[in-house]
Amino acid sequence: MSLEPQELDDLTSKIGRKPTPTELQIVAAEWSEHCSYKSSKIHLKMLPMKGPLVISEKGYDSGVLDVGDGYVITAHIESHNHPSAVEPYGGAATGVGGVIRDILSTGTRPIAILDGLRFGDIEKDLQARWLFKNAVTGIADYGNCLGIPTIGGEVEFDECYSNYALVDVAAIGFGKKKDLIKNHANRGDLVVLLGGSTGRDGIGGSQFASDSLESEDRSAVQIPDPFIEKLIIETILEARNQNLINAMKDLGGGGLSCAVSETADALSIGIEMDVDKVHTRESDMSPDEIMVSESQERMLIITNNEKLKKLEKICNKFHVKCSVIGHVTSDSMMHVKKGKKTCANLPTTVVANAHLLDRPSKKPSYLENIEQEKKLSPISNYSKMMMRLLSSPNIASKIWIYGQYDHEVGIRTVIKPGKDASVLRLDNGKFLAAKIDGNPKHCYINPREGAIGCFEEACRNVVCTGAKPIGMLDHLQFGNPENPEIFWTFLESLKGLTDFAKYFEIPCVGGKVSLYNETPSGPIKPTPLIGILGLIEKKPLHSQKITSGDYLVIIGETKNELGGSEYFEYIHKFVGGKCPIVNFKESKTNMNAVLDVIGKDFLKAVHDCSKGGLAVAVSELCMINQIGCDVSLEKVPGPKLDADRTLFSESHSRYLVVLDKKNLKKLEEYLRKNKVSYNLIGQFGGENIRFSSGHKPIIDLRVDKAQKTWFNSLKELVHG
């Protein structure tokens, strides 16, 4: 039980009496940081959440966007950080299960999963390696069992996550607009608990996730069962088709306590329920345990007497348990009984609305001199260094990860993982691109600009497929908000995201705030993760095979911005410098130009230039297509820089465009006319990746050797 003394006083004052033990447990779960967002809620309102495509309904657990022709997509993002740090397989798997049910709660079918993962330094840290390996397996097993493709994600390794894990899972749903659940309830309606049995696993999970991780509380980690989840999906969708659901909510953090109180509060109703009616896994569970258990694969449904028999029939057909645990009242109270005995009787507005905090913030002292660069050790052999960079965990190919995921099940995936963004086919002839991105190295150096950069990078990735960004998900992960310096980094990141979202008119359609991400070693780096959904009206850009003689054009300028770069941190072990900054006007110009030229249908490939800079982006194109390329560094647009800075700067708003000779003039005419900064920097051919300045070669690598290193290094590292 984790109520602060002032919160206990506040609760006592609001209800006018001393709370019962069960009431204390219910309120402690709902008022936890994980469920109430008490530190962040007043600030999250600054994000733009409305737009012409956004559909808002009370009580939804996921965002809804209208994609035309009577169809909608739904999207949500969740984390399972603390549980995954303790038990990575189960923690990661139940993270997938929870976000899938958020999608289901709107009445849409889940069609895709994306995951964002963060672990310690797997080159040196065996614990980080174990966490990474098991979290990936947990996500793969759960998604594969459900038959929902894991279409993309990203992974990063950093010492700040030592003995810890960040496991973020985003999910996408698809359905007809007319089938969306319109949450409503009438007095006398029945409250039904559907799905897995309630057990002692996950008890206190929301409080566990709302504090620094200092002990391995395995009782707070839930047990996954994807087979029950699969049956629940089919049960819910059939019940939806027969119009048997008045309102619905997933049971996630806080279990029944939060699902019941939040549903009642959102619909301005009361709910009376009996814990004896809840189907449990263990016979001797107390009311307190039943109310705060976070056992997985459970949904709360409001239906009525006339519809109940049909609902029960569908549940029996799919072998899914369901129990009528209560009914709707009109007194706006959450009344929890055990038989005839009252255990809790609280106003739903009190339970569902914790006192919001306006925490103090202060610029961290570590930022005072962070942009000052130190003298770097000279590199004698850039080719050798480049091979080392390509084998580094953050740059190496992630095929070992996504190779474990079934990304083709459901036959919607038209662009698979491993590209800039993945693309799904929709039933109305349109396509949906999706990508998630984060960069804690940049966010540590400059929380505002770093967060903007994550947003812009995710947009660039979907733009590379020909998709226009239509919605954003954010997952804001920080340390202890009670520390003013950490809270300042949260606010700065949020302000940056808000500015970018408003300028580009990309609404935030869902998100999550995860705080108290700390270990005994200290807080994690600020880690906002951004998911972007992009819509393609006609057809996506399918990368064609690059052949000898094709040209390489770069759009966007390369600047002296190496702070937080892989080059500074991995090669030189230097944390600091000037983090890349997004020029909004330049970003929009470049983004629109790339979308326009993709629409003209004369490009062979477009690739985002980001982590590892130009050197890595060009190498990726060469390694994937098994062809060499000669690149002239002096032709790269932007200020005149030393060769290593041109190669490894991670400046934003840059795209690599590949096309054949006959289309070069058309591209150049368009870019000149629209005042886009660009240049022809290279030509493909041969068996070597070469970067030269003047006539002096800086990097010269055999494509086959580079590819072998890039493909295999992560797998070899994991299997050690």
Task: State the pLDDT at residue 407.
Answer: 52
Task: State the pLDDT at residue 205.
Answer: 47
Q: pLDDT tens digit string along 515-551? A: 999 887 899 999 999 999 999 998 888 888 999 999 9
Is there a contact between 181 and 248 (Cβ–Cβ < 8 Å)? yes
Is there a contact between 644 and 542 (Cβ–Cβ < 8 Å)? no
pTM above 0.85, yes or no: yes
DSSP β-bridge partners for residue 511: 474
Q: Which of 82, 106, 31, 76 is nearest to 258 (CA)?
A: 31
Task: State the pLDDT at residue 208.
Answer: 45
Q: pLDDT tens digit string along 639-690? A: 999 999 999 999 999 999 999 999 999 999 999 999 999 999 999 999 999 9
pLDDT band at residue 625 under the 50/70/90 scheme: very high
CA-CA distance, 31 to 491, in Å (whole number)? 21
Task: State the pLDDT at residue 361.
Answer: 97
Is there a contact between 143 and 229 (Cβ–Cβ < 8 Å)? no
**% of the chain beyond a pLDDT of 90:** 80
Tell me the catalytic residues.
Answer: 34, 80
Q: Does an H or E element contain 666, and which?
A: helix 661-673
Residue 611 pLDDT exceeds 60 = yes
**% of the chain beyond a pLDDT of 70:** 96
Residue 37 pLDDT exceeds 50 = yes
Domain-by-domain residue ranges, the chain? 361-396+543-720
DSSP letters, 321-386, are -EEEEEEEESS-EEEEEETTEEEEEEEHHHHH-PPP--------GGGTTTTPPPPPPPPS-HHHHH
pLDDT band at residue 218 under the 50/70/90 scheme: very low
Task: State the pLDDT at residue 181.
Answer: 95
| Count of CB atoms situated within 10 Å of the CB of 58 | 13
3-state secondary structure 581-618: CCCHHHHHHHHHHHHHHHHCCCCCEEEECCCCHHHHHH
φ and ψ at residue 590, rounded to 5 degrees:
-65, -40
What homologous superfamily is domain 361-396+543-720 in, according to CATH? PurM-like C-terminal domain (3.90.650.10)
Task: State the pLDDT at residue 58.
Answer: 82
Residue 209 pLDDT exceeds 70 = no
The beta-carbon contacts of 320-323 under 8 Å, at least 24 apart in sequence, are 320/194, 320/195, 320/228, 320/231, 320/232, 320/235, 321/194, 321/195, 321/196, 321/197, 321/279, 322/192, 322/193, 322/194, 322/195, 323/192, 323/193, 323/277, 323/278, 323/279
Q: What is the mean pLDDT of residues 588-612?
A: 95
Task: State the pLDDT at residue 202.
Answer: 62
The residue to which tokens 């095929």 are assigned? 399
Is there a contact between 198 and 278 (Cβ–Cβ < 8 Å)? yes
Is there a contact between 180 and 236 (Cβ–Cβ < 8 Å)? no
Window from 17-26, 74-83, 299-308 with minimum mean pLDDT: 74-83
Q: What is the mean pLDDT of residues 554-575?
A: 97
The beta-carbon contacts of 559-562 under 8 Å, at least 24 apart in sequence, are 559/638, 559/639, 559/649, 559/651, 560/639, 560/641, 560/645, 560/649, 561/649, 561/650, 561/651, 562/645, 562/648, 562/649, 562/650
Residue 31 pLDDT exceeds 90 = yes
pLDDT band at residue 59 under the 50/70/90 scheme: confident
Residue 573 pLDDT exceeds 90 = yes
Q: How far apart are the first and last CA of the chain?
A: 42
Residue 2 pLDDT exceeds 80 = no
Q: pLDDT tens digit string along 427-454? A: 999 999 999 999 999 999 999 999 999 9
Pull the structure tokens for residue 658.
């590949």
Stronger pLDDT, 543 or 218, i.e. the higher one: 543
Name 666's Cβ contacts closer than 8 Å, sequence gap at least 6: 600, 602
Per the prediction, the chain carries an average pLDDT of 92
Residue 57 pLDDT exceeds 90 = no
| Count of CB atoms situated within 10 Å of the CB of 125 | 18
Q: pLDDT tens digit string along 411-421? A: 678 877 778 88
Task: State the pLDDT at residue 217.
Answer: 47
Is there a contact between 101 and 233 (Cβ–Cβ < 8 Å)? no
Is there a contact between 269 and 300 (Cβ–Cβ < 8 Å)? no
Name 52's Cβ contacts closer than 8 Å, sequence gap at least 6: none
Stronger pLDDT, 181 or 252, i.e. the higher one: 181
CA-CA distance, 179 to 172, in Å (whole number)? 16
